[in-house]
Structure 1
Amino acid sequence: MSELETLHYTGIEMSADGGSRFVDDRIELGVRPVAVGVDPMAVGELGSGAVAFVRSGGFDAVPHPAPARQWVVMVRGTIEVTTTDGETRRFAPGDMLLAADVEGLGHSTVAVGEPPFEALFIPAPENR
């Protein structure tokens, strides 16, 4: 597996004496498309079956609707999103974006700066 296809993380678990300890572990990411018109990205489920971690070495997509109504929480890197009305905004680590344009012409997304781009995709309810 390449570094692009592995998510390393630190866990805390109970130790044999009833205390706690750190454990280094990883989640293997599978490369797959995340939306029509977007190059495949490394994706890993985080155990809930709904929240996904995504990583891409680059991101330069043609206009596309969101694959589902979802929050995009930026973890690493910066993306630039342009809507069909011509407005462009940048999103960096810690920023949240609600992608709710699941129909129509959609938006375009470009990675800005050094790769990789990393984000959490979290399903969003209709009432948000």
Structure 2
Amino acid sequence: MTAENHAQQTIPAIRLFNLADGSCTFEVGTLPTSVPLPVSFFEAETVIYDYQKKPHPAPRPQYVVTLRGKLRFTVSNGDTFILEPGILLLAEDTQGPGHQWDLLEGEMWERLYLPFPAEASSHFIPTNKAISEN
């Protein structure tokens, strides 16, 4: 089955990526269901490291699945979006100053990191639907 066959069966997603100048931005879209993703392992995490409290790039291209917690992400130009369970994050901003986030609800951010090869298709489908808080 292909992504085209499942266009109506998707989950919400937000993609962080770099612009030509190295700054970080985001776009809103979806990820089709029932399409194999190019991942071979995942990491579960609850710890929030000091470097994550400041602007930072993604260490590698990866899907981020939020299990618990509600966060506000901020990109280079100051635009923001909310990430919470039910929205998949594609972190592809591996260069430049990156992004930062603040925990809005809950005492911890429970998440899964699912790295994927930079050359692989993430299957992200942009929708151009704005969800910025600005």
d(CA) in 2 for partners of 1:78, 1:67: 21
Matched, 1:54 2:54: no
Question: What are the superposed Cα offsets for residues 8-33 of structure 1, whole Å, 9 maximum, x if unpaired?
Answer: xxxxxxxxxxxxxxxxxxxxxxxxxx
Q: Does 1:82 align with 2:77?
A: no
Q: TM-score, normalised by structure 1?
A: 0.56
Q: In the comparison of the two structures, how many residue pairs are matched?
A: 81
- What RMSD, in angstroms, separates the aligned Cα atoms of the two structures? 2.3
Larger fraction in strand: 1
State the structure with bigger RCO (CA 8 A, min sep 6), 1 or 2.
Answer: 2
Identity of aligned pairs, percent?
A: 32
Provide the rounded CA distance (Å) in 1 between the counterparts of 2:100 and 2:48.
Answer: 17
Note closer, same or farther for the CA distance 1:123–1:57 as it changes in structure 2 (3 Å cut). Answer: closer
2:109 alignment counterpart: 117
Q: Provide TM-score, normalisation by structure 2.
A: 0.54
**Contact 1:69/1:101 (CA < 8 Å) preserved in 2?**
yes
The structure number with the bigger radius of gyration is 1
1:51 deviation in Å?
0.2
Amino acid at match of 1:85: N
